[in-house]
Copies of this chain bind each other. A is one copy, B any other.
Amino acid sequence: MQRPEPPSGCGDRPTRRKARREERRDAILEVAKRYFLEHGYAGTTMSGIAASLGGSKGTLWSYYASKDLLFGDVLDRVTEVFRQQLGMALHRDAPVETALVTVCAEFLTRLTNPEAIALHRLVVGEAGRFPELGRIFYERGPQRVHSLLSRYIAEAMARGDLTQDDPDVAANVLSALCLAGHHQKLMVGMIDCLPPDEAEDWARKAVAIFLRTYR
């Protein structure tokens, strides 16, 4: 349990401390994320987080001087998931239908997983009081997905694979079709998760309807 690291590293002197600190910060964010997503902003207590963390309140405050600051960092961390979402596979060499079905199924799967729903609820619930929160979320989440889709659709239109039209509108239509019905039910808690295979099935239907108009 001693430091198993060569003492040669002299570029970052207090390296062991810093590493531990990062680790701890990570743990804090993880716990806080759980709390915020589960109980909302107002429903989350710093004392609760501290307790759940095992450590003392003093420690927590030494990392985050206020609830607001902690909330900010948690948001940063949570929207990271959405940033990765950008990595969604939009195979430009596959046939349009295949590419769209794949991306829609992926989109639907990600947007309907419990954590995404919890985040969505949190954002929507607090959007009235933290306008910034809504903006940040939108720009990092829906907006990027929209751009991605829109760009792909524009290219497909240019290639002649889709009929010429406003690609922005088309992208909106496609994502709306994807979420139709399911998302709202999830958001208000009428269902807890998507039935298995439903993402794939519905993606096919959505794309079919989309192509009926755009091809």
Contacts and interface: CB of A to CB of B under 8 A. Distances in A.
Interface in A91-141: 118, 120-129, 131, 134-135, 137-138
A43 B177 contact: no
Interface in A154-179: 169, 172-173, 175-177, 179
A188 B124 contact: yes
Nearest to A171: B181
A: contact size bracket:
35 or more
Contacts of A42: 40, 42-43
B177 A128 contact: no
A30 to B, nearest CB: 19
Contacts of A177: 173, 176-177
A179 B127 CA distance: 19
Interface in A59-76: none
Interface in A199-215: 205, 208-209, 212-213
A149 B151 CA distance: 33
Contact of A190 (B118, B135, B188): B135
A56 interface: no
A87 interface: no
A89 interface: no
A127 B138 contact: no
A57 interface: no
A71 B185 CA distance: 22
A188 B128 CA distance: 8
A173 B180 contact: yes
A39 interface: yes
Contacts of A188: 123-124, 127, 134-135, 137-138, 142
User: Which 5 A/B pairs are nearest by Cβ-Cβ distance?
Assistant: A125-B125, A176-B180, A42-B42, A134-B188, A134-B189
Given A118-B128, A125-B126, 10 more contacts: A38-B128, A40-B42, A40-B126, A40-B129, A124-B187, A135-B189, A172-B180, A176-B177, A176-B179, A176-B181
